[in-house]
A and B are shown apart, each in its own frame.
Chain A
Amino acid sequence: MSISTTDLMVKDVLLSPDRVPVLPPTTLLKQALEEMNKFRLGVVCVTDEDEKLIGIFTDGDVRRLLLKSQKPFAALFVDDIIVHATSSFTSINDTASLSEAVVLMEKKEIWDLPVIAEGDGKFLGLLHLHPAIKAVMGL
């Protein structure tokens, strides 16, 4: 039995944590950038010891940081990623529908949406816009 695209849930399409840069808060900014390159994603997810998402750092944050910071690169590179990560990020529960998630991403104009477990609040992965659109379109 095939699943209708309208029945798809966020949990059916999300990128699991092993396919996303998931880093502890004391990761150096330089290492975080390397992880973004490695996974070919413009985002890193910062989690605490309880696997709770505590921050998001994106390509956009890098651009804004470069324009704002007057530190030498060598000093910026050794900052803890959590210092520059955004703690007030948009997220969605794994039980939400995919269409609901895509509407939210369109509304917020974001490419990546962190997915949080409804029960214990643990970080479950990332909904990336490309696979989400492909799934919605049945491609």
Chain B
Amino acid sequence: MNSRSITIGRDDQVSGVTIGETAPLAFLGGPCAIETSDHARMMAERIGEICAKLNIPWIYKSCYDKDCRSAPDSFHGVGLDEGLKILGDIRSDFGIPVVCDFSDADWAKPTGEVVDLIQVPAYLCRQTTILRAAGDTGLPVHLKKGQFMSPWNMKNAVRKIEATGNRQILLTDRGTFFGYNMLVNDFRNFPIMSETGYPVCFDATHSVQLPTSMGDISGGQREFIPHLVRAAAACGINALFMEVHDDPPNALSDANTVLDIKYLEQILAQAKAAHELRLELLDKWGADRVHLDD
């Protein structure tokens, strides 16, 4: 169903990553928040080693401002200037594309001058000003489906970005509210969002979040990550998103959902295998043909 692919990487300084169609499964990962320069670089190095070993194209993800934390005194981030400096250094020193979100339309331009893929936070996926600012950067846009949004209504968000002339979009599912403080994954979201013609991605770590379930912070059930990743890869994603940390209990953001890096290799290896098997099956049996008209 994915008729378009997008390529992440604004120049030759980084290894470009193609996402979509029959391209290899791409990985977007890193710590939820940029904590320190040393920590961010250490994570980039360790994730890079695993992706190199598995031959998985990847994009480093970490954010300078966490604007949707549950409590007023939660870690908010290192800020725009310091964060972008760290991301820019990682980009040039490690030769990998980077992605970061923004939650204020004024931040889109400076962010877009550093990153290769600009991210629209799920909570803001209806905000026209944010979507327009993302589209106007001219960069590929990582558009996360709001937990409150139906997959078909993401078409409206897509069209807001397309109205800027930007037709490079990656659509991601990060779970859907199932009552209060609970998310579930509806795997129909992937084929439905694919109908937009853009590649789709699964955010495994935010999907296991239990939003603000612990009073002033979000809980999570990270034990389900491997199950959900295998299911999503079999269903037909083009990219996998996971936040990764070397010390989850002490992570400054999303401590209850980030994946311990010691599990990254085994999960990525399985995701890659499931993705490749799906492509083999489609090649052998043809595209999915169960239609309404049958």
| Residue B152 is within 8 A (CB to CB) of chain A in the complex | yes
| Residue A137 is within 8 A (CB to CB) of chain B in the complex | no
State whether B292 touches A78 (Cβ < 8 A): no
Docked Cα-Cα span, A114 to B153, in Å, equals 32
Docked Cα-Cα span, A133 to B78, in Å, equals 75
Per the 8 Å Cβ criterion, residues 32-81 of A in contact with B are 68-70, 74-75, 78
State whether A69 touches B292 (Cβ < 8 A): yes
Contacts of A70 in B (CB 8 A): 292
Mask for B129-167, Cβ within 8 A of A = 1, else 0? 000000000000000000000101101100000000000
State whether B292 touches A74 (Cβ < 8 A): no
Docked Cα-Cα span, A68 to B294, in Å, equals 11
Q: How far is the CB of A100 from chain B (nearest CB, A)?
A: 34
Contacts of A69 in B (CB 8 A): 292
Q: How far is the CB of B61 from chain A (nearest CB, A)?
A: 29
Interface residues of B (CB under 8 A from A): 150, 152-153, 155-156, 192, 292
Name the residue of chain A whose CB is nearest to the CB of B159. A26
Docked Cα-Cα span, A23 to B156, in Å, equals 18
Docked Cα-Cα span, A139 to B186, in Å, equals 60
Contacts of B156 in A (CB 8 A): 78
State whether B150 touches A68 (Cβ < 8 A): no
Q: How far is the CB of B86 from chain A (nearest CB, A)?
A: 40
Main secondary structure of the interface of B (DSSP, over half): loop
Sorting the interface of chain A by its residue count into under 10, 10 to 19, 20 to 34 or 35 or more gives under 10
Docked Cα-Cα span, A35 to B192, in Å, equals 26
Q: How far is the CB of A44 from chain B (nearest CB, A)?
A: 19
Contacts of B155 in A (CB 8 A): 78
State whether A75 touches B292 (Cβ < 8 A): no
What are 13 A-to-B residue pairs whose CB atoms are below 8 Å?
A: A68-B292, A69-B292, A70-B292, A74-B150, A74-B152, A74-B153, A75-B150, A75-B152, A75-B192, A78-B152, A78-B153, A78-B155, A78-B156
Mask for A74-90, Cβ within 8 A of B = 1, else 0? 11001000000000000
Contacts of B292 in A (CB 8 A): 68-70
Contacts of A75 in B (CB 8 A): 150, 152, 192
Name the residue of chain B whose CB is nearest to the CB of A65. B292
Docked Cα-Cα span, A75 to B154, in Å, equals 10
Name the residue of chain A whose CB is nearest to the CB of B150. A74
Contacts of B150 in A (CB 8 A): 74-75
Docked Cα-Cα span, A25 to B184, in Å, equals 34
Per the 8 Å Cβ criterion, residues 78-132 of A in contact with B are 78
Name the residue of chain A whose CB is nearest to the CB of B153. A78
Docked Cα-Cα span, A68 to B293, in Å, equals 8
Q: How far is the CB of B290 from chain A (nearest CB, A)?
A: 13
Docked Cα-Cα span, A70 to B156, in Å, equals 21
Docked Cα-Cα span, A75 to B155, in Å, equals 10
Name the residue of chain B whose CB is nearest to the CB of A68. B292
Among A69, A74, A78, the one with the most B-chain Cβ atoms within 10 Å of its Cβ is A78
List 11 extra interface pairs beyond A74-B152, A75-B192, CB under 8 A.
A68-B292, A69-B292, A70-B292, A74-B150, A74-B153, A75-B150, A75-B152, A78-B152, A78-B153, A78-B155, A78-B156
Contacts of B192 in A (CB 8 A): 75
Contacts of B152 in A (CB 8 A): 74-75, 78
Name the residue of chain B whose CB is nearest to the CB of A70. B292
Q: How far is the CB of B198 from chain A (nearest CB, A)?
A: 14
Contacts of A68 in B (CB 8 A): 292
Docked Cα-Cα span, A69 to B291, in Å, equals 11
Docked Cα-Cα span, A78 to B155, in Å, equals 8
Docked Cα-Cα span, A75 to B196, in Å, equals 13
Among B152, B153, B192, the one with the most A-chain Cβ atoms within 10 Å of its Cβ is B152
Please provide the 4 A-B residue pairs with the shortest distance between their CB atoms, ordered closest to farther. Answer: A75-B152, A78-B152, A78-B155, A74-B150
Docked Cα-Cα span, A70 to B153, in Å, equals 17
Q: How far is the CB of B159 from chain A (nearest CB, A)?
A: 8
Name the residue of chain A whose CB is nearest to the CB of B192. A75
Q: How far is the CB of A23 from chain B (nearest CB, A)?
A: 15
